[in-house]
Every structure is written in C-alpha cells, then in structure tokens.
Amino acid sequence: MATPMMAKPEQGSASGPTVWKAFLGGEWRDSSNGATATLIDPSTGEVIGTVPKCTRADAKAAVDAAREAFDKGPWPRMKPKERAAVLQKVAELLVANQEALSLLETRNAGKPIRQSSLFDMGLAAEHMGYFAELATSVRWHQKISQPDYEGTIGTVVKEPMGVCAGITPWNLPILMAVWKAGPALAAGNTCVLKPASLTPLTTLELAKLFEQAGLPKGALSVVTGSGEEVGDTLLTHPGVDKVSFTGSTEVGRTVLAKSSLTVKRTTMELGGKSANIILPDADLEKATDGALFGIFLHCGQLCESGSRLLVPAKEQEKIVARLVEKARRIRIGLTQDYETDLGPLVSDGQRTRVEGYIQYGLDQGAKLSFGGNRPDRPELRKGFYLRPTIFSGVTPDMRIAQDEIFGPVLSVVPYENVDQAVEIANSTIFGLAAAVWSEKEAKATRVAERLRAGTVWINDYHMLSCHAPRGGYKQSGIGRELGENALEDYLETKHFFYGRESPLIPIARALVVPPAAKGGNEQPPAA
C-alpha cells in the first residue's frame, strides 16, 4: 500500500511492491550495479518492495559527496539558528506524516501499529525537535582566562567534526536514524546513514523530509546495502571522521577495530541483558505489569528489554503464576490491527535464532512456564510469530541468563537476598539498563546505585526522556546519546591562544631565541 508521502512516482506505484531508491549525495539513485534487496512484511510474509543493494563504490560516492559538502558547502557555515530551523521543519514534517510513517515502520519492521505510532513516531518527532534546540544552545565561542599567563586570553571554540557515519540496527529504524542524523547535522556536520538491511524504509523517508526542509545537497545520504560492503566502506574510508554505531556487541567490536585504523571518533550503542529486579516489598501488581511490558514491548527486540526478571526465591512461584495469568491476555496478532499487543519477530532467521535459545533453556534445565512455541492461528502462519515465553528457575550461569536473545523470552531468576540480586544483575558482560521495583523509593535507589548500568528505572520500564543521557556501561557501549550534551560527541574543540603582554612569554621565547642584546651563538656560515 502506498501512502501520500510515499507516492513520489520514482519511488514506485500504489499497486504492487514499491521500488525504493537510495539517497546518494542529494540524488535518488539505484545502486551502481543495479542490484536490489527484497523486503518482506514480517507479519504476513508478503513482499513490500525492493531497495538498492548499494556497492562499495556507492558508499564511497556518498562519503565523497559528504566530504565536499562539509569542506565547501553551506551547511557547516550556516548560523546555528539556520540549521536549527531545518531540523525543526523536519520535526514538524515527522508529525505531519506520522500516520504514513507509522504504517511503513509497521510493515517493514513488524511492529504493532499502536507501538509504531505512539512510541516510535512520537519520539522521533520530539527528539528531532530537541536536537534542533540543542543546535542553538552550544557555547560555540567561550572566552577563558589563563591566569597561568597573566595578561593573555584564550578562546575555546567548538567546531563540527566533519563527515559522520551513522550505522543503525533493524529494531528501531526511524528513531535510530533520528539519533544519528539529528545531532550530527545540528552540530554542523555532514552525515551518511547506513540503515539495517532488513529495515531501511523509514530512514529513506526521513531523507525525503530533510530534502523538503531544505537541507543542502550532499549534507545527508542514505546508503542502503549490507554491513559487510556499505558498512565496511564507511568504517575504512579516510574521509569519515566519526562513526556512530548502534547494533550488537559482536558487530560493535568489529566496528571499533576497523574505525581505529584511521582513528575515527566513535559512539557505540550496543547490546543488553537488562535485569529487572523485584524487591521483596514491591507492589506485585505493578511489578508484574512492568515485567511483561519490560520484556514483551516490540516482541523483546529492544536493546534495553528487561529479559532477566530477578525475584525473591520465596516469592518465585506466586510471581510466575501472576506473570502467566497476565501473559495469557497478551493479544498476538497482525501488526496493522490496532488491538495487537505482540507482533512477529523481524525475520524468519531471527525467529529461528530465538527458538535456538528456547531449546538451550530447556536443555540446561530451566522450567518452561509459558509459551515456547509458535501460535497456530492460520492468519499468523506466514508471519514470523512466536508466543510470549516465560522460563522460571533460571540460574545465572545459563545461556538464557547471559546472552542477549532479542526475542519474547523472559528468564525468571530467583535470588536469596538483595546482595545476591545485585551480584546476579551485574554478572553479564552488558550494562545498558536495569529496573528496581519497591514501595520504598529510597531503598530502590540504594540498590540502583549498585547496578552497573547506564539507565535504571525505579518502578518503571522503557520510559525514555530526550533530556537524559542514554548509553551503556561495560560491553553495552561507549559514549552517550541524548541529554543536554548530545552534540558534544559531534564537535571538535579548538583553543586560540592570544599572546598578549605577559611577563612569562619573553622568558618562554628566550628558551629558543635569546634576547637580541645577548646575541646567539650560532656561527655565521663560512665565507
């Protein structure tokens, strides 16, 4: 189905699958060798359309265009408030096109429509507006005193970094594109986005909104194609100054290694295995709702998903009974149905991977308390569905307690006391997020302080504020996105030293150039 904003003739027609083009250096183009990739609706298994499978040459052309736009184009030279106006316009266009974009996200990523319209699109517009505000709040020039050199002054100047590459995952396509392009462009950089191969569509639509909002040519490209080819080119191209990557820890390690060869600046937002801790005094009604929301939003395919539920051992049976009773009410369904709570996995491959983890759970002796298989309703058979799954009696060493599964699988891990709960919570390689449920906020805060995670919710889950920095401890990442310093990682810092009168300066210069009266000891060249 085509929507008004997708109805550009070159982007396909209303009937049949749509043919999308990549946005390379300000032009909508096919890949240089004509190769395409087919996109599937995870809910129905139907073909949605094709996108160009761009080559290394296409990725290189996009970087070269971004380099040119940075070195010679107007964008980095515009006033911050002029750049902010373009971003603000995009934020407004995101709102105006919310319905069409939600539908596209739903079809491409397999998100239930209620989630994509309320969560993804709402946040995308709000966050783009926030980055527009930040563009004007940067202290671009700051005079500093240099008391160590009395009589001199210095100026600290912030400048855009250059060409920024943004590589994004399939689970939050438009939001991640906004988190990459938004701060990079707000800071005056140019940007090349590489969306995930499975879900590039709303990122392409975002580029269209930037075009409409008047972003100069070449300042943004969207190169569709594989990580091995397009992603790799961005990591190794010397013309890229900064890489902002969101994806798995495994691929993140490769990204870091390759980016280091040309000493690129990096921001890494990686995987998670978040602990959701129910303390003995928690309100179990709220905590069990929060636990199910924590794990089953977007079918467990969120980096911060609360995939480990830590419960007091004595309460495990009671808590699991409540979880199961509530999980029965979760409505699995087609993603375009507004009643659907739980959609499919993003692909058949991802479903098979998650089923592998369900088998590990069984093999290692966890108790399957709910789900664990595919729904058998005929209308869901062509999609990539799995029932919400709850394991109990999980021990911290099991794979389902250590690995990021990225699917609708909750591991309930019992603990004996709070110290042990903290130890278990901190016992994975990840440190992205966590939550603590307790009727006593101060007590929950003391537990939260002991957790090695970048975000800790207290009596809540998933809530995201663009005013707060977000990122991971340990192998969940490097750096922070969002928050008032979100542009800092996209800026270089320069110091101007004005050598005015200072008693120290003649002394310092005399270290090399002796005062004229004393003369030097260099011998004149032989005649």
Site of interaction with ligand NAP (CB under 6 A): 167-172, 194, 196-197, 226-228, 231-232, 235, 246-248, 251, 254-255, 269-272, 303, 404, 406, 432, 472, 477
Closer Cβ to ligand NAP, 106 or 369, answer by number: 106
Catalytic residue among 269, 304, 355, 481: 269
Identity of residue 64? D
By the 8 A CB rule, do 312 and 414 touch?
yes
The residue (of 171 and 438) whose beta carbon lies closer to ligand NAP is: 171
Least distance to ligand NAP, CB of residue 312, Å: 28
Q: How far is CA 19 from the centre of its chain?
A: 26
- Using CB atoms within 10 Å of the CB of residue 450, give its burial: 0 to 12 exposed, 13 to 18 middle, 19+ buried: middle
The whole-angstrom separation of Cα 523 and Cα 520 is 9
Supply the minimum distance, in Å, between the C-beta of residue 502 and ligand NAP: 48
- In terms of CB distance, is 230 or 444 closer to ligand NAP? 230
Q: What would the two tokens of residue 457 be? A: 């919710």
Q: Position 394: which residue type?
A: V
- Identify the active-site residue in 105, 303, 355, 466: 303
Active site residue 303: yes
Q: How far is CA 158 from CA 187, 188, 224, 456, in A?
A: 9, 10, 32, 32
259 vs 288, which CB is nearer to ligand NAP?
Answer: 259
Instruction: Count Cα neighbours of 388 within 13 Å in the Cβ-side half-sphere.
Output: 26
CB 87, min distance to ligand NAP, A: 21
Those residues whose C-beta lies under 8 Å from the C-beta of residue 79, and which sit 6 or more positions away, are none
498: left (phi over 0), alpha (psi -120 to 50) or beta: beta
Q: How many CA atoms lie within 13 A of 260 on its CB side?
A: 7
Give the C-alpha separation, 41 to 107, whole Å.
5
Per the structure block, which two tokens stand in for 488?
């800092």
Give least dist CB 171 to ligand NAP, A: 5
Q: Write down the least CB distance from residue 406 to ligand NAP, Å.
A: 6
| CB closer to ligand NAP out of 105 and 316 | 105
The CA-to-CA distance between both ends of the chain, in Å, stands at 89
Q: Which residues pair with 277 in a beta bridge?
A: 310, 436
Whether residue 163 contacts residue 175, with contact meaning beta carbons closer than 8 Å, is answered with no
Q: Least CB distance from residue 44 to ligand NAP, whole Å?
A: 21
User: Closer CB to ligand NAP, residue 192 or residue 319?
Assistant: 192
Residues with catalytic function:
269, 303
